[in-house]
Copies of this chain bind each other. A is one copy, B any other.
Amino acid sequence: MTIALFPGSFDPITNGHIETAKKAAEIFEKVYLVAMTNTSKHYLFSPGERADFARDALKDVANIEVLEKPDEITVDLAHELNAKAIVRGVRNSADFRYEQEIAGINKRLAPDINTILLFSSPENSFVASSMIKELAKFDKDVSQFLPEKAAKALRRKLGNEYAE
């Protein structure tokens, strides 16, 4: 069975992430989408909440399983899950260079694991998570960028700060 690992913050999951997960599920027989932790980032939601939004958004895709692994690094998890490939989505050349650095270090740590990149579709190529959060802080509707459960949670968490 061909297995892929899709690691990320997913804080919260966006339509762009969902698109990447579904494309991976068309290519691999099994995909693990895993909410992880980058210690230099400040998170809005807990690993459990982040995994829950993802689970809800992808419940109709049989060969995707959502996990939460805040205390592991990606290549260790890939070995644990017997995943041959780490999957990541890319929107533009800035994403590309960031992914090239992560893949460069992962390859030094685990030469047997390959990173593969999937292009975002054009409509998701110019949408940044940071800007969706900025809109939520001004209590704007973000439902066109996020799955329903995540959109509501984000508005509740950030919205009232600035709303009249």
Contact = CB atoms under 8 A, between A and B. Distances in A.
Interface of A: 2, 23, 26-29, 38-40, 71-73, 84-85, 90, 92-94, 96-97, 100-105, 107-109, 112, 114-119, 121-123, 125-128, 130-135, 137-138, 140, 144-145, 161-162
A119 B98 CA distance: 12
Contacts of A102: 131
Nearest to A102: B131
B122 A115 contact: no
Of A29, A107, A126, the most chain B CB neighbours within 10 A belong to: A126
Nearest to A106: B131
Contact of A126 (B23, B94, B105): B105
18 contacts: A39-B162, A40-B134, A73-B135, A90-B96, A90-B117, A96-B96, A100-B119, A101-B128, A102-B131, A103-B119, A104-B126, A104-B127, A105-B126, A105-B132, A107-B121, A108-B127, A108-B145, A117-B117
